[in-house]
Amino acid sequence: MIKCSFCEGPLVCKSCNRPFHPREGETHVAVYQPDMEIYCPDCQKLLVCKACGFVYGDEKEDDQS
């Protein structure tokens, strides 16, 4: 099982509630580079850790008010 790079809990997609299992080696490496966007292979949405809410890639870079 892949662990979240932020909370170190099991990495489960918040959108579809399925454990994250990358289909390619590059995606597996990208999980540990938090600035890269990663999409869930099951639901195709931006990967967000269900446990802690960590977003794998910025949804909105300029979210400053």
Give 22's Cβ-side CA count (13 Å radius).
16
Over residues 18-56, the pLDDT tens digits come to 999 887 765 666 777 767 888 999 999 999 999 999 998
User: Which residues neighbour 34 within 8 Å (Cβ) at sequence distance 6 or greater?
Assistant: 5, 6, 54, 56
Report whether 53 contacts 24 (CB < 8 A).
no
C-alpha gyration radius of the chain: 11
The predicted model scores a pTM of 0.78
